[in-house]
Amino acid sequence: MTFLLEIPNFTDPKIITALITLTFLEIVLGVDNIIFISIVSNKLPESQQPKARTIGLMLAMIFRILLLLGITWLIQLTDPVFTIGFIEDDDGLPLGISWKDIILILGGIFLLFKSTLEIHHKLEVAGPASKIKAPAAFAAVLLQIILVDAVFSFDSILTAIGLVDEVIIMIIAVIISMIIMMIFAGPISRFINKHPTLQILALAFLILIGVLLIAEGFHQHINKSYIYSAIAFSLLVELINMRMRRNKETVKLNKEEL
Any residues with CB less than 8 A from the CB of 203 and at least 6 apart, and which? Answer: 39, 115, 118, 119, 122
**Between residues 209 and 51, the one the model is more confident about:** 51
Of the pLDDT bands very low, low, confident and very high (cuts 50, 70, 90), residue 127 is very low
pTM higher than 0.75 for the full model?
no
pLDDT band at 3 (very low <50, low <70, confident <90, very high): very low
Say how far apart CA 54 and CA 181 lie, in whole Å. 9
Return the number of other C-beta atoms located less than 10 Å from residue 69's C-beta: 13
Window from 16-20, 65-69, 151-155 with minimum mean pLDDT: 151-155
Domain layout of the chain by residue ranges? 13-220, 223-258
Contacts within 8 Å (CB) and 24+ apart, 179-183: 180/23, 180/27, 181/27, 181/30, 181/33, 181/34, 181/57, 182/53, 182/54, 182/57, 182/58
Segment 23-46 shows an average pLDDT of 75
What pLDDT does 161 receive? 61
- Return the ∠ at Cα 157 (arms to 151 and 228), rounded to 5°: 70
State whether residue 125 is helix, strand or coil: coil
Contacts of 96 (CB under 8 A, 6+ apart): 80, 82, 83, 89
Residues 49-72: what's their mean pLDDT? Answer: 79
Summary mean pLDDT of the chain: 75
Higher pLDDT, 70 or 241: 241
Q: Which of 144-148, 156-160, 250-254 has the lowest mean pLDDT?
A: 156-160
**Quick check: 235 pLDDT over 70?**
yes
Residue 131 has pLDDT above 50, yes or no: no
pLDDT at 90: 73
